[in-house]
Chains A and B, each alone.
Chain A
């Protein structure tokens, strides 16, 4: 293993900065377009603890972009910055060319960025239906009074959105669970509901935080299928966090590798696979 590392050290070196030719080639092949999301030297720290240092990368229209790294590499923190849940101390994030000094989650959501969570963050007290319906809240415009009376506008709006949500439920094959409280569902299916809630927002960019964590093989396959379908059918750009390399390699177009809050690799799966630092960070720890 260390041999491999040595041999691939030289060619892989340039892969660290920017996106090299090989990568661009692949992108072209899958008809991937403009940069939709650009992260510039983000740094984030809690008190003294540095979670992220000078992270930069970009995400292009319609691609599947993976962020990998061992546990505690700062992957989730990265997503939280993009969502505006955390405010980075340094750096900027721009969506479709618009740069925000202060991201707030609402704005990000309105810009069409949706997200799923690593540790399930579903609304436990609510049914599957309500969880996914909640994802539609940006699309629902009736005011408090109209809803209180319900009859008329609110009713119509509710029904219309319900139709969309039922579509998502069918897509995720969880019809049987419609009315069950999410708390009572098997873990794998909860993950689907989480995805469903995100899809209900009809996002252009979809951030997935370890969608396959803790799943068995079949569940993983189902989930990958869903992700690819979403990417193809709706042309949704996907940013995917995983610590399990294998999954990432066959799913994603380009990969960013984080370790201890630093970016140590960026490029196509192939390039990254041979990046010595990545190997050290990963397999090194694996030994």
Chain B
């Protein structure tokens, strides 16, 4: 397709402030949405929904939330799993304890609880900087892991400490088949992505980035670190909490704290870094990469029909995964999103070199 912006003159600041100022981009995104919402549900096989698309959507939502904290506000977090867990278990408790609690409300309330916890563990960030802050978030991680295993009330006194939900429905429509689940998640992701984008391009977003880039200068121009950091923690953990709720309710249906272990936190951090810090779109790239890569690696031998020993296969997966991450950081520390934009730049100027 011809990718040119010449002839597209902005006549108002408003027009200039759009998310996708270039017409072609707007068309592309519209097409993408149509494909996602209409074409895929009709065409894709069940496996794709259950094993790839639904996890991808939910995890990219979580990654998006994390990206606001790490990518936009520069506060490193290794405890994302914890906030997902809070979201999931809170939503669970709202559903089992309040009769006829609507699914969406429960999920959002879960997010609210996650926000509270997020802000609580965000308070140290006012005093602690950089890697030291990681320990605060790790404290959150291990504490919630423990709390949901130990405190029976959270799991509604289930004997095994694992909880399960069923009969999901929204306004009478059941959320049951893979397609329904997929569309449900898709709706959430699209809405949240839009809201998040609005935030980061508004003045709150600028305050976050200012704190990230040069906190002293930010203070001098009147930005309050307390407000900026805590709002970042709040928004981030709200989104992450909702994602956690979706992960438990829609993807797993029955879960235990292990579903939100520290491995999950690292996985999400990988997504954000590889996808691109400080980029909404990056969160999606990262999620796609991290979700899909291991599956591809697992399957490769079967596609080429060279069955290798399972143990070896998964060891290789580990190795390739690690190697790729390092490779990525070396080639493009700013992640896939940056590759994407450089690609677009080139396309804009094509065929002229500069």
Contacts and interface: CB of A to CB of B under 8 A. Distances in A.
Q: Do A and B come from one complex?
A: yes
Contact of B17 (A126, A138, A162): A162
B222 A137 contact: yes
B183 interface: no
Interface stretch (B59-67, B196-204, B294-302, B303-311): B196-204
Interface in A101-144: 105-106, 108-110, 114-115, 117, 121-126, 130, 133-138, 140, 142, 144
A34 B203 CA distance: 35
A197 B210 CA distance: 12
B213 A124 contact: yes
B202 A158 contact: yes
13 contacts: A106-B223, A121-B217, A123-B209, A123-B210, A123-B212, A123-B214, A126-B209, A134-B218, A137-B221, A148-B195, A154-B198, A154-B202, A159-B17
A155 B12 CA distance: 12
A144 B235 contact: yes
Given A85-B216, A109-B222, A121-B217, A147 B204 contact: yes
Given A134-B207, A137-B222, A144 B14 contact: no
Contacts of B235: 144
Contacts of A117: 217
A231 B206 CA distance: 28
Interface of A: 83, 85, 105-106, 108-110, 114-115, 117, 121-126, 130, 133-138, 140, 142, 144, 147-150, 154-155, 157-159, 161-163, 166, 197-198, 201
A121 B202 contact: no
Nearest to A121: B217
Contacts of B216: 85, 121
Interface of B: 12-14, 17, 195-196, 198-199, 202-204, 206-207, 209-210, 212-214, 216-224, 231, 235, 278
A166 B10 CA distance: 14
Contacts of B221: 109, 114, 134-135, 137-138, 197-198, 201
Given A123-B213, A147-B204, A110 B222 contact: yes
Contacts of A163: 13
B213 to A, nearest CB: 4
Given A110-B222, A125-B213, A162-B13, A134 B195 contact: no
A105 B12 CA distance: 35
Nearest to B278: A125
Chain A contact residues, majority secondary structure: helix
A85 B219 contact: yes
Given A122-B214, A134-B206, A150 B198 contact: yes
B225 to A, nearest CB: 9
A147 B278 contact: no
B73 to A, nearest CB: 11
Nearest to B207: A137
A102 to B, nearest CB: 14
Contacts of B231: 144
A144 B204 contact: yes
Secondary structure class of chain B's binding surface, majority of residues: helix
Contacts of A162: 13, 17
Contacts of A137: 203, 206-207, 210, 221-223
Contacts of A114: 221
Given A133-B206, A158-B17, A148 B199 contact: yes
Nearest to A183: B213
Given A106-B224, A137-B223, A150 B202 contact: yes
Contacts of B14: 155, 159
A123 B207 CA distance: 10
Contact of B206 (A105, A122, A130): A130
Contacts of B223: 106, 134, 137
A106 B222 contact: yes
A148 B209 CA distance: 16
Nearest to A194: B217
Contacts of B209: 123, 125-126, 130, 134
Contacts of A130: 206, 209
Contacts of A122: 213-214, 217
Contacts of B224: 106
A201 B13 contact: no
A162 B218 CA distance: 19
Contacts of B206: 126, 130, 133-134, 137
B58 to A, nearest CB: 21
Contacts of A155: 14, 17
A210 B57 CA distance: 50
Given A144-B199, A144-B231, A149-B195, A105 B13 contact: no
Closest 10 CB pairs of A and B: A109-B222, A121-B217, A147-B202, A123-B213, A105-B219, A150-B198, A140-B203, A138-B222, A148-B195, A162-B13
A123 B217 contact: yes
Contacts of A154: 198, 202
Nearest to A130: B206
A115 B216 CA distance: 12
A142 B198 CA distance: 13
A158 B220 contact: no
B198 A148 contact: yes
A85 B213 CA distance: 17
Contacts of B12: 159
Contacts of A144: 199, 204, 231, 235
A33 B14 CA distance: 42
Nearest to B212: A125
A157 B214 CA distance: 25
B137 to A, nearest CB: 22
A122 B17 CA distance: 22
A114 B217 CA distance: 10
